[in-house]
Structure 1
Amino acid sequence: MPLHTGDHASPRTAAPHPGDTPPAPAPAISTRGLVKSYRGPDGTTTHAVRGLDLDVRQGETFAFLGPNGAGKSTTIAMLCALTRPTSGHATVAGADVLTEPDRVRRRVGLLFQHSALDPDLTAEQNLRVHARLYGLGRAEARRRTAEVLDLADLTDRRRSPVRTLSGGMRRRLELARQLLHSPGVLFLDEPTTGLDPHARARVREHLRDLRDRHGSTLFVTTHYLDEAEHCDRLAIIDGGRLVAQGTPHEVKAAIGDDRVVLRTSDDEAARRVVGTLTPPDRSLTVDADGLWLRVPDGSAWIPRLCAALGAHGIAVHAASATPPTLDDVFFHHTGRSMAPDGGGR
């Protein structure tokens, strides 16, 4: 199934001379200084996105990670030319969101956070209606509908009313609908919200297959840390500002230190003892997890700390050292956790 049509083709360039290094392909998405602000009725200004600089490579799966209200959906709306930036510049699939909004919309697909399927129509009917809205002729609409139903592994349910499909099936059907017009870039706004763990895993598998088979560029917004772990690269946004970006390994390695957690017979007393052994710039925290701190090579620190606490008559019930997580990265840059329970760090 071809992913790109003639409208998506890159501009023709001169043939390179022998021995020349081929130029790097243009980013699928590129933004510089992208801003979106809203003025309230009282004259105050709210900044939803603040100076976003971002490059997403062609054919990669890119996660846009942040809590609710961070600016993720507003960013997608600007990149899909559904709302105009207040300032800044952005290109998507080779088209400018300000000067070529119609070209942008033809070249992208957008999976909304909430379902836009008609529950009383069959899976096949939903797709054909969408295909006609995108200007596909009857024969082309039938052909593309059959192709994307097969890609979504829903051919055997093509005549089933949408209301009879499971949540995971509906999400795969919505993905199939966004592929009908062969978009160059597919935006997915919280694609697995509300799904059970099995359905979430199935949708992630479907997205990986879509990228691997067709070279699609996937831009995924999520607040699920495990989903971001499976992406090629990610960016973390908070309060409309980009606070970190890179591969999952890179952004975690930038923190460097392991998290050591000790459960003792007296965590407050243990904090005073540990404070005499660690550098003064290391914060020590006591919370529901116990006493924790960040140190390089945490496993090597544990025997030393346990020996010191034992010498002061403080029993250590449990000790662990874990490398940084994406939640640790978020906490490092924002001072709070993205964990679902909002627990302490």
Structure 2
Amino acid sequence: MPFAEPPVGVLRFREPVPKMPWRGTRYTQKFAKSCSQPAFFTSNISAANQGEDCLYLNAWIPQGGCRHKHSMVWIGGGFITGDVVSSDPKVIAAFTNTIVFTISYRIGPLGFLYFDHNDAPGNMGLLDQSLAIKWIYDNVKRFGGSKHKITLFGNSAGGASVNYHMLSEFTRPYFQKAIIQSGAADTKSSFHSPSVALFTANAFATQLGCNKASVEEKIECLRSLPASEVSAIQISPIPTPPLFIRAHLPTIDKIGFISKSPAELMKQPLPKHISVMLGVVKDEVSFFMAFYVNLLKIPIDISDGVITRDEYFRFLPLLFVASNATYANIGGNYLRPFLPDEPQSYLDVTIDIG
């Protein structure tokens, strides 16, 4: 079900526009396209099944009818990659008698390019999510649910997204519970200061041949490029760890969705109507570890599922911007005194640190 107009043409990089109503019955028997993203991550998503016209949501409804049911809204992980097709919540819907929604949102530069300009304000992906959540709030009764029983949940960047919606006045009125799994808004992988976000945007435009005199010209140039080209370029390594990719992340925006840094917003009391559950996803970093090893050609062999002590200390500097002394302190503190000196233990602790 579409919740926003396709963000194409002049709508690329802009806030989402609510979908205009349609006449008659809309038959929704298959998934919409996944949002454009780098090919490195999408071996299970063909190019034909990606595109910018991707702002849709899906609903799984228990058999037997519903009335005033609880609803859960799943936000998938990945500010640079991810799709709803790989998330299949029918088991949750069937066994908990709960309505489950999944939502798509723009990712990478198409979702988070920041030029401090109305045509590229940043946080478009989070605004997509917010609009979808409001759509669910406004329409959940038609699916047998209650707008007073809505829970957001997500992992990794999805967990950070849930955190952002807890902090933003844009979304807080539209849900009552939140489940955050291995994600937080105030981490280096979930937030850029405006200065870093702007630097990233300018470097990105230059790399795509759009180093124009004015911001307006840069945005116009970037809009003229195919979405696949805009998405693909973010997978170029840059020399400053831990930013291995040219990541476009949430930042403070003038729209008001994120009015201050997450650290500052977290100092404010949470509205009393919102309750929160926190958790972690075990071994989540193992996927990204393999990605970094392959992308940066790090001389570490993880094909057998273990790493040595030397490989552990070789990988550690890639996770932190710090001095050699700091690496040694971090590495030593995590290892002693309880960790057995065996390869599987070094892999486990590397994943935990990440």
- Both proteins in one fold, TM over 0.5: no
Alignment TM-score, normalising by the size of structure 1: 0.23
Greater strand content: 1
Q: Which has the higher contact order (CA 8 A, sep 6+)?
A: 1
TM-score of the two chains, using structure 2 as the length reference: 0.22
- Structure with higher Rg: it is 1
